[in-house]
């Protein structure tokens, strides 16, 4: 046995060399951690964005947790961010697709969920807007 193969056998026995690659579908906890740490287009992590929204809205926006879904046959997890606007019931409309090997987080649909809800609120308030943007 050569030195290199002997060293490889020792490292393998000690668990220093992984026997298989990391799976593409992360565990639920890992998927949520990846979403929390994901840097948005605004150069801030998702977790910090949520914390700021709660502080700045003074109760109009409330974070309600994460919901993780694993659909059969898909090489990624769906992580939904749940929130509550005012007195409306909580909803989980902000969705990220999360995979590993390499770690990857991307919005499911940028104009769904909270973005759609905020546009709906803006449209409802538009008649009362004192500025004419046309």
Structural tokens at position 76 = 């990624």
pLDDT tens track for 51-100: 988 988 888 889 999 999 998 888 889 999 999 988 889 999 889 999 98
| Domain assignment present for 80 | yes
| Domain assignment present for 81 | yes
| Domain assignment present for 2 | no
Give the pLDDT mean for 41-56: 89
| Domain assignment present for 6 | no
pLDDT tens track for 103-130: 889 888 766 666 666 666 666 667 666 6
Q: What's the confidence (pLDDT) of residue 19?
A: 44
This prediction's pTM: 0.66
The Cβ of residue 33 has, within 10 Å, a number of other Cβ atoms equal to: 16
* Structural domain for 59, as ranges: 21-128
Q: How many domains does the chain have?
A: 1
Crossing angle of the two packed helices 28-37 and 46-57, in degrees rounded to 10 = 70
């Amino acid at each position: 046995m050569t030195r290199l193969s002997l060293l490889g056998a020792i490292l393998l026995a000690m668990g220093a060399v992984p026997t298989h690659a990391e799976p593409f579908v992360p565990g639920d906890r890992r998927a949520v951690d990846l979403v929390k740490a994901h840097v948005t287009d605004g150069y801030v992590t998702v977790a910090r964005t949520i914390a700021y929204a709660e502080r700045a809205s003074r109760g109009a926006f409330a974070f309600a947790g994460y919901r993780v879904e694993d659909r059969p046959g898909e090489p990624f997890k769906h992580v939904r961010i749940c929130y509550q606007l005012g007195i409306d019931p909580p909803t989980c409309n902000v969705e990220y697709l999360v995979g590993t090997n390499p770690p990857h987080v991307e919005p499911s649909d940028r104009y769904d969920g909270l973005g759609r809800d905020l546009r709906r609120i803006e449209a409802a308030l538009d008649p009362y807007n004192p500025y004419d943007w046309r």
